[in-house]
Amino acid sequence: MIGRRAALGLAALAAPIIFKAGAQEARTIRLVVPYPPGGASDVIARLLAGPMGEILGQTVVVENRPGANGAIAGELVVRSPPDGLTLFMGNAGPSAMNQALLGRRLPYDSVTDFTPICLVSSVPMVLGIYPGHPAKTLQELIAYARARPGEVNYATGGIGSAPHLVLAQLATLSGIDWVQVAFRGGQQAIAAVVAGQVPFLMDTAPVVLPQVREGRVRGLAVTSAQRVAAAPEIPTIAEQGFPGFEATSWGGILGPARMPPAVTTRLNAAVVRAMDMPAVVEAYARLGIDRRASTPEAFGAHIAAELARWTEVVRVAEIKPE
């Protein structure tokens, strides 16, 4: 659930998601989002789709294909022709964490089955709690959970998502046992916390901060190394007893494997130009999203490094698919 003012703001951003510049329907670009509308990946895709369409002179359509923490959308993209007309709005979950958790059970390989185009964001996550809960700090929440092993639930937007693995890692570091309640997306998870059905959640800043600003959720911690400029009152996890702790839900645009280099270069240039447009820069800042443009090669190296990192976290924390 997004507050009325935030919803109107997102609606205004989402309005120009289809740009028709005289291109034939066969040249329409699908930007496939692996989650329902309203989450960070969806918001970023809609911010970029309009400017990309103008720059490329093609229709760019955002298409939501939720399910299996992004695996359904990921498989759709890897099975598409490598012509640059079907793109994937990837992020840390479907582009690294899924494989770290599921291995060969995933219907694609995060490194070999995609063509990286451009890293577009680094999104801090926020731990938000129901305002009526007695815990006022992260350490108080940990103490509350430690006294009730296996009884304290938390909400996420899906199994194998960035919030899931981050909270599982935090539980390992704290020696506690709390239980995930996985929803189909961040909006469903935040709605459950606002309603008091689940005591707390972790999700990206664009999902949680609007509810914090309206007093429907209390922000306990952010996962970035520094406090988020859009919500400086919320302390980091590192400040609250976990020095050096840092995790963000990055996002980026990919295509199927074996895309022609010229197509990849053209798309990368369009994404980078779109990210530099003033309206996009302002929206990123307001939503608490860091802009992170890159070359295709650097994005590919980033995905490989993230896959290695989260594979080790899953191993050490003994996280199992639920």
Look at residue 80 and tell me if it is in a domain: yes
**Distance between CA atoms of 205 and 284, rounded to whole angstroms?**
11
Give the ranges where the chain is alpha helix by DSSP (H).
Answer: 4-14, 40-56, 71-78, 92, 98-102, 138-146, 162-174, 186-194, 205-213, 261-275, 278-287, 296-317
Among residues 123, 166, 118, 103, which one has the least CA distance to residue 35? 123
Look at residue 196 and tell me if it is in a domain: yes
Domain co-membership, 211 together with 106 = no
Domain co-membership, 193 together with 298 = no
Domain co-membership, 132 together with 192 = yes
Asked which of 202, 217, 240 is the last residue of a domain, the reply is: 240
Domain housing 161: 124-240
Domain co-membership, 41 together with 76 = yes
**Distance between CA atoms of 194 and 31, rounded to whole angstroms?**
30
Question: Residue 309: what are its φ and ψ, rounded to 5°?
Answer: -60, -50
The token pair that represents 318 in the structure block: 């003994």
10-residue mean pLDDT series, the chain (322 residues)? 39 40 62 92 95 96 92 96 97 90 91 97 95 97 97 91 91 94 90 97 93 97 93 97 93 98 98 97 90 96 94 84 67
Look at residue 320 and tell me if it is in a domain: no
Look at residue 322 and tell me if it is in a domain: no
Asked which of 213, 240, 267 is the last residue of a domain, the reply is: 240
| Cα pseudo-dihedral 109, 111, 117, 121, rounded to 10 | 90
**Distance between CA atoms of 190 and 235, rounded to whole angstroms?**
20
Domain co-membership, 130 together with 112 = no
Residue 56's CB is within 10 A of a number of other CB atoms, namely 22
Counting the structural domains of the chain, the total is: 2
Domain co-membership, 221 together with 256 = no
Give the CATH number, domain containing residue 216. Answer: 3.40.190.10
Domain co-membership, 235 together with 263 = no
Domain co-membership, 194 together with 100 = no
| Cα pseudo-dihedral 5, 248, 40, 274, rounded to 10 | 100
Look at residue 182 and tell me if it is in a domain: yes
Domain co-membership, 52 together with 144 = no
Q: What is the distance in angstroms between the CA of the first residue and the CA of the last residue of the chain? A: 26
Domain co-membership, 261 together with 300 = yes
Look at residue 321 and tell me if it is in a domain: no
Domain co-membership, 8 together with 112 = yes
Look at residue 319 and tell me if it is in a domain: no
Asked which of 216, 240, 264 is the last residue of a domain, the reply is: 240
Look at residue 257 and tell me if it is in a domain: yes
Domain co-membership, 159 together with 222 = yes
- Identify the sign of the CA torsion 245, 249, 254, 256: positive
∠ CA 274-280-285 to the nearest 5 degrees? 140
Q: What is the pTM of this model?
A: 0.81
**Distance between CA atoms of 246 and 88, rounded to whole angstroms?**
26
**Distance between CA atoms of 252 and 267, rounded to whole angstroms?**
12
Give the CATH number, domain containing residue 84. Answer: 3.40.190.150
